[in-house]
Amino acid sequence: MAVHLRNKFNQSFRNYLTVKQNSVPFLRRYADSNSSDLVIVTKQKRLYLIGINRPEKRNAINDETAALLNDAFDKFENDDDAYAAVLFGKGGNFCSGYDLGQVAKGNFYGITSDRGPIGPLRRLLKKPVVASISGYAVAGGFELALWCDLRVVEETAVMGFFNRRFGLPLLNGSTTRLPHLIGLSRALDLILTGRPVHAKEALEMGIASKITACGTGLGNAINLANCLCKFPQESLRTDRMSAYRSTYDLHSLEEALRLEYENACSIITSESIKGAASFMQGVGRHGKFHLDNEEENDKS
């Protein structure tokens, strides 16, 4: 038993080192920085890293932090040179939700604000966001994770609507997002009971996109986001928006198929013809999608 645990630890440590060595150079400096800013924004090439920085509160979000998150994603959304973002929490936890200290004092401004108490959760961005989930992603923090397009979850992470026990309702879109993501029956199980969900179950349900070893979530999320940045962006964004609209906005298969067709036709002349011509010339054949932990040198 001791040998098995030691081998498992050694493998986890090797995985950690591999991700650290292959991730973008600023990762260590960024993750270990001692900034007092509540939200830290860093851009590296086409990628934004947006970090919630209230580790002493398990990254609970107060009104100021929510406003800064909104500003950060506004900046990302309006930056034409940015293709994807990674959202994570500093200090070992993703986010523990809305700061109940404000509610206890009778401050309901953040909850009733049009922009939302947790950040930009009442918006649909035009570009993808990858969540790096470690530690606790609970209550509004779980809602924040569900808002992201993809979720890279460390094996020790815990998710759940822990707000259930305190009488706080869900008001950041999760009563809509979660049933669409995992089905009504499973969603009601999590919404009504508020029970914890661990990484393995999250993957089985379809909440987690990928599970990683403890300490490797950020590196893996960065690698995944960088992969998204390498694809032709107009077609990626069009397909992404078609998926969202067919899931949330449309009421029939015929409407969804028509939307997909119309959106696809709109970009055929701008990206698809060029890409097909490159393929016929032998460019990109037998290529890789680079969805593993190793990050290629960006030669562009």
For residue range 16-57, list pLDDT tens digits in order.
Answer: 334 333 443 344 334 444 567 999 999 999 999 999 999 999
Residues 202, 248: one domain? Answer: no
Residues 157, 261: one domain? Answer: no
Query: In terms of Cα–Cα distance, which of 231, 242, 241, 243 is closest to 271?
Result: 231
Is position 8 within any domain?
A: no
pLDDT at 300: 39
Is position 246 within any domain?
A: yes
For residue range 85-126, list pLDDT tens digits in order.
Answer: 999 999 999 999 998 887 777 665 555 555 778 899 988 999
The mean pLDDT of the chain is 81
Reading the block at residue 89, the tokens are 């929490």
Q: Which domain holds residue 32?
A: 20-229
Residues 169, 264: one domain? Answer: no
pLDDT at 29: 38
Is position 223 within any domain?
A: yes
Is position 11 within any domain?
A: no
Residues 257, 113: one domain? Answer: no
Is position 12 within any domain?
A: no
Reading the block at residue 294, the tokens are 């190793």
Q: Which of 15-29, 56-70, 130-144, 153-167 has the lowest mean pLDDT?
A: 15-29
Residues 175, 248: one domain? Answer: no
Number of domains in the chain: 2
Q: Which of 54-58, 166-170, 197-201, 282-286 has the lowest mean pLDDT?
A: 282-286
Residue 155 in contact with residue 99, Cβ under 8 Å?
no
Residues 276, 258: one domain? Answer: yes
Residues 268, 134: one domain? Answer: no
pLDDT at 116: 74
* Vertex 224: Cα angle to 223 and 227 (nearest 5): 90
Q: What is the pTM of this model?
A: 0.78
In whole angstroms, what is the distance from residue 11 CA to residue 142 CA?
Answer: 29
Q: How confident is the model at residue 256 (pLDDT cuts 50, 70, 90)?
A: low
pLDDT at 249: 80
pLDDT at 128: 98
Q: Which of 114-123, 200-209, 213-222 has the lowest mean pLDDT?
A: 114-123
Residues 249, 261: one domain? Answer: yes
Residues 138, 171: one domain? Answer: yes
Q: What is the mean pLDDT of residues 172-190?
A: 94
Is position 38 within any domain?
A: yes
